Structures are given as structure tokens and as C-alpha cells.
Structure 1
Amino acid sequence: MNVIQIGSLSIMLKWVLLGSGILIGLVVIKWWLQKTQMKEKSKKIFDTLTNSLFVLILVWKVSLILLEPKLILKSPISILYFTGGTKGLVIAILISLMYFIYKNKKIKISSKLILQTILIFSLTVLSCYHFTFLFALDENDLYHLLVGTFTLIILYFILIPKEWRF
């Protein structure tokens, strides 16, 4: 397990790589929305996406209450130090997706645009995560290469207009 140690703070490297993938995903979504949507609609969708990411982080931290209630009852301060892990992340992703869809439906964004936004953001985060994992760590190299390449190819066909493709 690779950990970055800063004083008494320990952060798993895979979470840092996921965070960098999320930041790159936000940049790609901002660029794509500016190129394809009106400024007002672009801003609303991007704001909802960033709020969804905040919900994701909050639910991921609080999911520890559902997944490890004995730990929280024994030491309530542990919620500051621990997360829900991978299971908590899956729960947080599902809840943040529901939040994103609900909020965009409420402001009358089309289902097609909501799906495109989710797909482009998710594929960008996945490809960035797997490629940085491939170069940063020496674990399951073939797996990360295949998943990163596959998601990048799908992203290429979604983002690049047909007349620009090779």
C-alpha cells in the first residue's frame, strides 16, 4: 500500500490520483460545456457538477457511520480521520449521481445533455486515474493500461466531432 505521509497525516496515493483525475475531469467538462452550450446553461451545469462533487465527498466521509457504526460509537472523532473506503465511495457516487440528475432536471436540462455530461466526466476521470496509476505505481500494469486506453477511446468518439476524426 503506497501512502503519502505529511507529518501525522497519511493519505493513500490512490486517493491522490483519483483527486487529480477529478480535477482534470472538471477542466475537460468546463471546456466541453463552453464549446457546446450557451454560457448560462454551461454555468448551471458546471455549478451542479461541482456541488455534486461536494456531496460526494461529504457522503463518502459520513458513509463510515453506515459501514462502521461500532467504530463511530466507540470513538466519534474517528469520522474526521477515516472515510467509508471503496464501499463508501460507491455509495457516495450513487448519491451524488442522483443529486446531479435531480438538480439538472429541476432546472430543465435535457436528459441527453445530463447523460453526456456524466459520461464525459466519468470517462475522463477513469482514464486519467488509470493512466496516472499506471505511471505512478507498479501494480496491475496491464489492467490499468487496458482500462485507461478503452475509456480514452470511448471519450475520443464522444468528444471529437466526426469531421475532425482520423
Structure 2
Amino acid sequence: MNNTEWFSIRTLTLPATAVALLATFFVVWLVLRVQFPKKWSEVYGDAVFTFILVWKFSIIVTDFKAVIAQPFTLLYFNGGTIGVILGVMVASLQLWWKRKKLQFDATGVVACSWAIILTQSIYQWFVVLLNDNQIKSEVITLSVLSILTILILWKLTAINRALFLYTIGLIIVAFFQPHGLWQPAVWVSVILLILGITIYDCSKKISQST
């Protein structure tokens, strides 16, 4: 989806996509806090914090010369698309590295799956609601992802299959959006699919060893 709106908070001006992302993080954290043990909302919060740090300061990688010339660039800009992908990759690696310490049991795997699916869906919903894009792409995005999310979370049994089905659904939706498959959401979804499968396999090994 294209960003068509901007929002001002005092001296800070944010694109609608950034507002949608921050709102999504809060809503998903709240859902996890209410639905699952406190531990998993804290794990999600840590992952979000890591993502934001990497995304914000990845401009050092994407535009090093500008940062050296104007250090205050760090306060007003971020790493853009590359920063988003780097942030998701680093946050995913952080969870993978801490997988043994976190001890992903059955509840943890379900909580992780909820987080992966809800973060993507709610973000897409907010982006549609906060921006003004083609009606066709907005309707398809809202309807397909809403139905898919409700069906998957309602009967979340086969974790791997559910995550794979959701990723395929999001890719199909992307075909009807302005940037098609060449948008961060698609690549982020693939990374999160790999993360979800890895955590699920890790939980199976833990359950087999106990």
C-alpha cells in the first residue's frame, strides 16, 4: 500500500505507515497480555524493541555518508525498506538465539503464531484505514486477511500449515496492492514464516526430550 497521509505529534511528523506500525505493536502486545501468560507479551515487547532500534538506526548502513555529514539525521530518518527487513531479521535471530532459554512450550508456540499473524494482519488493516489507496486493493486486503486471520486463529492446530497458509494468503493479497510482490510486507511474511516453523520445531524437540 502507498503511504498517502502524514500525522503530526507536536514537532514530530510521522507517515501513516509508521503510525500503523506503532499502533499494531501496542494492540498485539495487549492481546498477548490478555490471552496468554505474561511471559509471552514480554517476549513480544523485547522483539518489538529490537526491531525498532535496528529499523531506526539502520540508516547508518543505508546512508552512512548522510549520517556522517549530518548526525541529527539519526533523529529524523530511518533505514526505510532495508531497515524494516533488517529489523525483522535481527529480532527473529534474537528469538532463535534465546529459544532454549525461553523454553517454547505448546502455549508459547501458539502465542508466537498469534503474534506473527496478528502483527501482519492488524498492520495491513491500519494501513488501509489510515491511507487513501485504490478501493479494490483496500477491499481485497481487508476482506481476505480478515477472513483468513479469523479462520486460522479460530482453529489453530497445525502451526506449520497455518503459518504457511497465511503467508500464501498475504502474497495473493499483495498482487492487488500498488507495489505487488516488491514490498516489505511480503519479505517480512516469509521471514516470520521461517521463524514460526523454527520455533515450532524447537518446541517439538523440547517436548520429546521431557
Shorter-normalised TM-score: what interval?
Answer: 0.7 to 0.9
Does the alignment pair 1:63 with 2:58? yes
Contact 2:5 2:15 in 1 (8 A): yes
Match of 1:45 among 35, 40, 43: 40
Q: In the aligned structure 2, how far is the partner of 1:148 from the partner of 1:122? A: 17
Q: In the aligned structure 2, how far is the partner of 1:14 from the partner of 1:3? A: 9
CA RMSD of aligned residues (A): 2.3
Match of 1:88 among 83, 86, 90: 83
Match of 1:4 among 7, 11, 20: 7
| Alignment: residue pair count | 153
Q: Following TM superposition, by how much is the alpha carbon of 1:31 offset from its aligned partner in structure 2, in angstroms?
A: 2.8
Q: Following TM superposition, by how much is the alpha carbon of 1:26 offset from its aligned partner in structure 2, in angstroms?
A: 1.3
Q: Following TM superposition, by how much is the alpha carbon of 1:7 offset from its aligned partner in structure 2, in angstroms?
A: 4.2
2:131 paired residue number: 137
Q: Following TM superposition, by how much is the alpha carbon of 1:65 offset from its aligned partner in structure 2, in angstroms?
A: 0.7
1:97 paired residue number: 92
Structure 2, unmatched stretches of 5+, are 157-210
Q: In the aligned structure 2, how far is the partner of 1:104 from the partner of 1:43? A: 17
What TM-score results when the alignment is normalised by the length of structure 1? 0.78
Contact 1:64 1:79 in 2 (8 A): yes
State percent identity of aligned pairs: 22
- C-alpha distance after superposition, 1:81-103 (max 9, x if no partner): 11111220111011112212322
Q: Following TM superposition, by how much is the alpha carbon of 1:119 offset from its aligned partner in structure 2, in angstroms?
A: 2.9
Contact 1:123 1:152 in 2 (8 A): no
Q: In the aligned structure 1, how far is the partner of 2:7 from the partner of 2:61? A: 27
